[in-house]
Amino acid sequence: SDVCSSDLLSTIIMSVWSGTGFCVILYQAALANVNTAYYESAEIDGASNARVFFSISLPAVSPTTFYLL
């Protein structure tokens, strides 16, 4: 029973680790495609980093997130 649970844990860790690289590449591509004018406008308006993330970056990568889910 203990050996079976460690095998399952090993399989889960391997699955997560093998899919992580693909996700990182897709997110990196999604963030690279965000128009820089949005970030420049937010900087001029004095938006905080959190506001920029939640109002610009996160909505821009949401299609990628839904694809990966």
pLDDT averages per 10-residue partition of the chain, 69 residues: 77 89 94 94 96 95 93
pLDDT at 4: 74
pTM: 0.70
The DSSP string of 12-65 is HHHHHHHHHHHHHHHHHHHHHTS-HHHHHHHHHHT--HHHHIIIIIHHHHHHHH
Q: How many CB atoms lie within 10 A of CB 61?
A: 20
Instruction: Give the per-residue pLDDT at 7.
Output: 85
User: What local confidence, expressed as pLDDT, does residue 50 receive?
Assistant: 96
Phi first, then psi, for residue 12 (nearest 5°) are -65, -45
Distance of alpha carbon 47 from alpha carbon 54, whole angstroms: 11
Query: How high is the pLDDT of residue 36?
Result: 94
pLDDT at 3: 66
